[in-house]
A and B are shown apart, each in its own frame.
Chain A
C-alpha cells in the first residue's frame, strides 16, 4: 500500500524553481512516463543550478523524444530531445534544438483535449484559464440543465471508456430519474494494458477533468462525485487531489450555492473494478463483483441512486463541447464516431505516445504517420487494439478505419484507444497463454462462463504449449470462447476470448506446430 502523500512528495510538486542571476527558463515535463524516461534525473541535477529556471509542465506525449526539454524563443517553443544532464550548455546557447511546431508527430495531430499538454503547468489554475479553461463551465452555468444535455446530444459524444454509449443519454436518464441523491463516478481505473491517457489527464490537465465533472453535475443535478483512481497511479491521485483543493479555494466547487464534494477513492489492484458495476461495488467497499444489468447505473448506481459513470477522458472532452459548441465536436470524425480519438501507441513501434486525431484514419495510417514504423530491428507481426480484451490484427488487416462502426463490424473493439504493436519475435501461442492467464487471474468469479471458461482455456493452451494438444483442443477453445462471448455477465468475460481466438485465426500454424511435431 502506497501512502498517497508519500508518493506525492516524491512526485516533484515544485512548479517553479527560481535561482539567482539571469537564468534560462526551461520547460521540463513532470509526467510519470517522462520522469521514468529521465526527466526525474534532469530535474534533480538542475534543481539548484544557478543558470536554470525549471518550469515543470505536463508532457506532450511524444515519448520517443523524452526526456524532452523546451525553451521560449521569438518563434515559439524550441525543443531538445533525449536530453542528458551535460546537454545544458548546448541548450543554453540554443544549439541543436527544433521548433516544437515542426515536430511531425505533433504537428500532424488535431489536439483538442490534449491541447495544453507540454504547454502548461498542470496545477496552475491561472494557466488553465489563460488557455481557455473554465469557459465551458461558464457557458453551462448560464444554461438550463436540459440545454446542457441538448448540447451534449448535438455533439454526439460517446463514452470513451470502451462501451461507447451516447453520453447525453446517460445524463438524460440520470436527470429524469427521481431520487434523493444523484452521483457522478469518474472511472479512473485505467486498467487496460497499453493505455495511459487518463493517467496523463489527471497528472497533466486535472482542471479539465474537474470542469467536465462540474458541467455534468449541473446538468444532472448531482450532489457528489467520486473519482475511483487505480492504486498503480499515485502521482495521478496526488495531482487530482491537489487540483480539487485548488478548485475549492477558488470557489469552483460551489454549485448554485451548495458545496459540491469531489472525492478521490483508491482502488486496490483489481482489473475488473474498471467494469462500471464492479467499480460501484468497490467504492461501496465490497468485493468488486459485477452486478447484473439492467438496471443500469444511470437509473440505479452508487448506493442504488442514479449515477453517471464515465471515464476520465469522456469528462475531459466535455468542457470544449460547451465552450465551442456541440456542432463543433460533431463536425469531426465519421458518421457514428464524432470528435477526436485519443490513441495511445505502444509496443514495438518506433514512436510510442499520445496521438489525438479525428476518428476515421486507418490503423495503418496511424502506425506509419505517427508510429513512424517499427522499432529498429523489428518486423511487424500483429497489432492489438483496445487493451487485453482487444482483437489482434495481422499486417493484412491494417486498413481498417479507426471508428466504432468499422471496429464493431469487424468484431473488434476500440476500447480505450490503446494500440500495442508486436514484432516478429512474439510467439503467438505464448501470447495467447498470457491473455488467458490474465483473464483467469482477473475474473471476479461471479458468473460461470468467465470463471471456468478462462481457466479451462488457459489449461488447454498449456497443453498445446507442451506439445500435447490435439485438434479437439483447438475446437474446444473456440467452443469455450463462444460460450464466454454469449453467456458472460459483463464485457470482461464477453471479450476475453477475442485476443486468443483472433491469434488462432490469423496465426493458425503457431497453434499446430508442436502438435505436428508429436504426430
Chain B
C-alpha cells in the first residue's frame, strides 16, 4: 500500500468530503481496511491529507476501534465470545482449549500467521452459546471436543 498506489487513491477519492460536508474518518478507515486488509502508517498520512484533518485525528480514531487493524491480517481469525451468556456456559474451557491447541494468547497470531485469536464481548448468539466465529462462520454450542475438527477445516 505505497503512497500513490492507484488502489488507495481510488478509495480515498470516494471519501473526500464534497460541498462542505464534514469528513468521516471512521468510514474512510473502514473502507481502506476493507480494501487492503489493514491500515498502514502511509495510509494514515494519506487519509489525513485527503480529509483535511491531522494525522493525530486519524490515528486517534484508528486506535480507538478494536476492529481496526494496523498490521496485516492472519489467514484465519478465530473470535471467541466472552459475553456473559457464554461465560455462564463456561466458555473459559473453550478458551483454554484454544490456547493449548494454538499455543498463543488472546490478541496474538500463530507463527506463520495462520491463526489469530481474538475475544469478543458478545456476538448476539447467546441462546446457542458457547460461541466461536472462525472468519465469517459462526458456530454455536461449541464443545471443546469439537475444536480439533473445526480447526481442521481452516488450514
Contacts and interface: CB of A to CB of B under 8 A. Distances in A.
Q: Tell which of A191, A234, A269 has the most Cβ of chain B within 10 Å.
A: A269
B124 A232 contact: yes
A285 B126 contact: no
Interface in B21-53: 22-30, 33-34, 37
A33 B125 contact: yes
Category for how many chain B residues contact A: 35 or more
Nearest to B34: A1
Interface in B87-129: 87-90, 120-129
Given A35-B138, A196-B126, A282-B26, A191 B121 contact: yes
Interface of A is mostly: mixed
Interface string B45-85: 00000000000010011001111110000000000001111
Contacts, number: 156
Contact of A422 (B88, B127, B129, B141): B88
A7 B122 contact: no
Contact of B61 (A32, A35, A232, A285): A285
B83 A194 contact: yes
A121 B24 CA distance: 35
Contacts of A444: 64
B66 A269 contact: yes
A194 B28 contact: no
A268 B62 CA distance: 10
A344 B100 CA distance: 33
A125 interface: no
B124 A195 contact: yes
Residues of A in contact with B, size category: 35 or more
B88 A268 contact: no
A33 B24 contact: no
Contacts of A420: 84-85, 88, 126
Interface string A361-398: 00000000000000000000000100110000000000
A418 B126 CA distance: 10
A265 B83 CA distance: 23
B115 to A, nearest CB: 17
A313 B76 CA distance: 34
A108 to B, nearest CB: 17
Interface of A: 1-3, 6-7, 10, 32-33, 35-37, 61, 63-64, 66, 190-196, 199, 231-234, 265-271, 282, 284-288, 303, 344-348, 352-354, 384, 387-388, 418, 420-423, 425-426, 431, 434, 438, 441-442, 444
27 contacts: A10-B136, A33-B126, A36-B139, A36-B140, A37-B128, A37-B141, A64-B127, A66-B128, A190-B124, A191-B121, A193-B86, A194-B126, A195-B122, A196-B126, A268-B65, A269-B66, A270-B65, A285-B23, A286-B25, A286-B26, A286-B61, A288-B64, A346-B84, A347-B88, A353-B127, A384-B84, A438-B121
Nearest 5 Cβ contacts at the A-B interface? A193-B83, A347-B88, A285-B24, A36-B140, A346-B85
Given A199-B124, A270-B66, A441-B121, 9 more contacts: A6-B136, A193-B84, A193-B85, A232-B122, A268-B66, A269-B66, A287-B61, A288-B64, A346-B84
